[in-house]
Chains A and B, each alone.
Chain A
Amino acid sequence: MKKTIKRLISLVIAASVPLAVASCGGGGNNNGGGAKEDPSKLNIHVYNYDGGYGSDWLQELMDGYAELHKDTVYEGGKVGVNFIPSNTKKLVSEGEMRADKTNDIFFLEGILYDQYRNSGLFADMTSAVTSDNPYEKGTTIESRLTAEQKAFYGVNEGGETHYYALPHYSGYYGIIYNVALFEKKGYFFAKNPTGSEIADKFVSKSNTERSAGPDGAEGTFDDGLPATYEEFYDLCKYIVYNQQIPFVWTGKFYELHLMNLYRNLVANYEGVDKMMLNYTLDGVADDLGTVDNGGNFVPDGSATTVTAQNGYELSRQAGKFYAMEFMKRIISEEKWKNAEAFGITFTHMDAQARFLKSWAGQSTETAMLIDGSWWENEASQTFSDLEKSVGEEYSKQNTNYAWMPLPKANASKIGDDNVLFDHLNAACFVNAKSTNKEVALDFIQYANTRESLVKFTKSTNTVKALDYTLTDEEIAGLTPYGKSMVTFKQAENTKVIYPYARNATYVNSQAAFTDVDQFFKWTSANKSIVKEFAENRNSTVKTCFDGLYTYRKSVWKGIAK
């Protein structure tokens, strides 16, 4: 009996090990409903990083292509195409790619373009990118790329431009707000404040006209939203005054989320040209400065010519200072955020669920979420759960969340362009070892027609990092959040930064430019600016701003080697 019990215990423990291992996969590999090789068809393997954007868009794309080519006869008498997707939450390392002889096409994030190209991992995509797209006559994929993208992805080889990868989806961090809650509680700024009290600054039943918002123009989508940092602080105070919580964000990944918000605030202040100096390291910086002992930003008397030798000087950009002030404020105010804002078990999915469930009355109402532009797609399960358990009014389509244009540092910046910072560096490419390169490249062309790009947006309610616009009719089919995202992206005064450049310093030290913590490292300790503000309430913006410059200068030799 004793032996039997021992054996049973051993069995349970042994069984728990593979279970535990399986649970580490975070969703694991999903090959799209068990797709298998079909010997009668041409089999194409597609590797997809199944993160916040999921894989529904890919399935739709593959289905469309397979349907279009169901009667096409390929080499060896095979008829039609059979896709075998690998949808996984795991990014692929260079070593894994080198060994991969299975997958024909990859959709990934954070690729090291030049390194992989040097290692011969990419198939040459030039013909697919520059020639007339057979699925969209009269256009090329190249025509959908920005000048920055062309400069980075287009490599000069013997006087000719060659492409080895293409931009995939866009990802921006920012603030998402509950429009319905804003409307219910009157959290929009009034065009004409009625007094000096906090509530007087906001719209009411008797004072319904909204302020012009950050773009400074009336009658646009951002009317009534905070135009400046100061107005944003007032908004938070007013939300707390109404016994609600301004923000929810993840505690487990708070540094990642808040540092990315910080970078977007910097970009929004600096604008495209000045922000891009950080990557091109070639141009004139005219807003560098220092911080005096009173904590005020003091601009330099003259502009600085930036080169690869003194790129660290850009740590003194004004936008980095003002955005730091903003971050310190929202981190320091106890009542402006959820209790678990720095707790290591509160994940980004928990934050999304809290945000959505608070509107369903399951916790104190929370007005804003700090997350990435893909959040709604990522929170699909929570939407679905709420829809089932509480009611249809909590579905994606019936709720009303929106992307908030970031406020400007001060009144003088109102009306400046809104800047989105696409930090994901997501790309698609064809495996150099693929035996089906021709079809893989053809699929890439199909995937980058306007129609396919619009389908991606309809499926994910986000945008791809290519130049395309949706018609009003197409936008109308999106969720309210998707509408706000696309409207914002397509607005005339919205610009997007694709933070890469073709110069030796950037290419050789790509991680030092793309990793938000390394880029804004202010001390040699493993502590970001936001962690410093979270853990040391006495820390000042001056300390971190000075540290940003001192540290970047100290490591610059290693970056610009």
Chain B
Amino acid sequence: MLKKSLQFYIIILIWPVLQFAVFYIGVNFNSFLLAFQNIDTYNNVTTFTFDNITNAFNLITTDPAMGETITNSLISYGLSLVNGIPLGLLFAYYIFKKWPLAGSFRVILFLPSILPVIVSVTIYMYFVENALEFVLKEYFGKTTPLGFLSNPDTRFGAVLFFAIFTGFGTSVLMYTNKMNSIDPEILEAGKLDGASGFKEFWYIVLPLTYPTLTIFLYTGIITIFTSQLNLYSFYSSRSSIQTIGYFLYVSTQRAQGNVSLYPAVAAYGLIFTCVAVPLTFIVKFLLEKFGPSED
């Protein structure tokens, strides 16, 4: 007879473990196999081939459009790194210090994470395309031929702004929680030693938040390969701007369920995974080796 505590443990874990087994291990294993398959629907035969990998590799390395796609993904990651993380930390510090309207900021920054993304996108889209255009025309006398999201010259910026703005929610919440776990006596001691304001943030709060920050930094690497920048929500499958994540998603969607076309997409995914995995481990290693210590 199993102990009651073990029974409870199994009951609690069985569902998430099953989910993980089916939707992570199962799905990824299937994708791995697909990358090497040639599915012939006409004759109802599946064979194995390395052609999918060769074709995908050739396209990734030679196609200018793919170069642009990779560049967009890197720009998006770089911007979120340069803007999102410092600003996220500062917002979190502001909230942590309970300075004026800190609670409101917390709600405003977290709101996009609570709302379904399609709602946030729709509100933003209509604001930028219609309301902003109206304001510019009515109050500043400026006419724009197209809204900021439709105009080829401004749409990437408009999409990036939305991604950064809506990306604060989780990180701010996590940073604030980590900051709240800092022993008040440490801060008090810092104050007595003259560390207040920026010094407190730089010398006490940041090093103590660093473990949380590193998790965001190295898990963020994968977003280079998965982030869609909400492009599908804005433009459906017809966005001129592409990121790697969007490219993979749209390629799958455009196959329209035609399983014969899936192996080519799976091959791209496998190649990008081969880059993402070592890169993530390298960044993790470097951050842990060279970053400040909590001690």
Binding site for B on A (CB under 8 A): 9, 13, 16-17, 20-21, 23-24, 93-94, 110, 112, 114-115, 118, 251, 255-256, 342-345, 503-504, 507-512, 514-515, 517-518, 523-528, 531, 535, 557-558, 561
Contact = CB atoms under 8 A, between A and B. Distances in A.
B83 interface: no
A344 B129 contact: yes
CB-CB nearest 3 A-B residue pairs:
A525-B65, A504-B42, A507-B42
B240 A525 contact: yes
B150 interface: yes
A503 B114 CA distance: 49
A115 B43 CA distance: 10
Contacts of A110: 256
Nearest to A344: B150
Given A115-B41, A115-B259, A508-B41, A344 B234 contact: yes
Contact of A518 (B40, B242, B254): B254
Interface string B34-72: 000011111110000001000100010001111010000
A18 B240 CA distance: 32
B31 to A, nearest CB: 15
B129 A558 contact: no
B149 interface: yes
Interface string B150-166: 10100000000000000
A527 B40 contact: no
B202 interface: no
A503 B41 CA distance: 11
Contacts of A94: 257, 259
B115 interface: yes
B242 A526 contact: yes
Contacts of B28: none
Nearest to A2: B103
Contacts of A509: 258, 260-261
B111 A13 contact: yes
Interface residues of B, number: 49
B258 A24 contact: no
A526 B239 contact: yes
Interface in B229-261: 234-235, 237-240, 242, 247, 250, 254-261
Contacts of B238: 255-256, 517, 526, 528, 531
A148 B243 CA distance: 40
A345 B125 contact: yes
B118 interface: yes
A504 B242 contact: no
Given A342-B150, A531-B240, A17 B42 contact: no
A524 B41 contact: no
A322 B257 CA distance: 33
Interface in B140-155: 146-147, 149-150, 152
B261 A343 contact: no
Contacts of A251: 150
Given A511-B258, A512-B261, A345 B147 contact: yes
A511 B111 contact: no
A117 B240 CA distance: 36
A118 B41 contact: yes
Interface string B261-279: 1001000000000000000
Nearest to B261: A511
A448 B61 CA distance: 53
B147 A344 contact: yes
B7 interface: no
A503 B126 contact: no
Interface of B: 38-44, 51, 55, 59, 63-66, 68, 107, 111, 114-116, 118-119, 125-126, 129-130, 146-147, 149-150, 152, 234-235, 237-240, 242, 247, 250, 254-261, 264
**A interface SS class:** helix
Contacts of B114: 13, 17
A110 B253 CA distance: 13
Given A16-B115, A17-B115, A508-B41, A524 B66 contact: yes
A558 B52 CA distance: 8
Contacts of A20: 115-116, 118-119
Contacts of B258: 112, 115, 509-511
Contact of B152 (A525, A526, A535): A535
Contacts of B257: 93-94, 112, 115
A24 B119 CA distance: 9
Given A509-B261, A518-B254, A24 B63 contact: no
Contacts of A9: 107
B255 A511 contact: yes
Among B44, B115, B247, B261, the most chain A Cβ lie within 10 Å of the Cβ of B261
B65 to A, nearest CB: 4
A133 B99 CA distance: 79
A2 to B, nearest CB: 10
Contacts of B242: 525-526
Contact of B116 (A21, A93, A342, A528): A21
30 contacts: A9-B107, A16-B115, A16-B119, A17-B115, A23-B119, A93-B257, A94-B257, A115-B260, A255-B238, A343-B146, A343-B147, A343-B150, A345-B130, A504-B40, A508-B42, A510-B256, A510-B258, A511-B254, A511-B258, A514-B256, A515-B256, A524-B66, A525-B240, A525-B242, A526-B247, A526-B250, A531-B238, A535-B240, A557-B55, A561-B38
B152 A345 contact: no
Contacts of B259: 94, 115
A173 to B, nearest CB: 16
B6 to A, nearest CB: 34
B146 A342 contact: yes
Contacts of B125: 344-345
Nearest to A510: B258
A558 B126 contact: no
A170 B250 CA distance: 27
B271 to A, nearest CB: 15
Contact of B41 (A256, A507, A512): A507
A304 B146 CA distance: 45
Nearest to B260: A508
A110 B255 CA distance: 12
Contacts of B59: 524
Nearest to B242: A526
Contacts of A514: 256
Contacts of B150: 251, 342-344
Nearest to A502: B42
B61 to A, nearest CB: 13
Contacts of B51: 561
B129 to A, nearest CB: 5
A511 B257 CA distance: 8
Contacts of B118: 20, 24
B230 to A, nearest CB: 13
Contacts of A524: 59, 63-66
A201 B282 CA distance: 73
A194 B68 CA distance: 55
Nearest to A524: B65
Contacts of B66: 524
Given A17-B115, A510-B256, A517-B238, A558 B43 contact: no
A365 B114 CA distance: 44
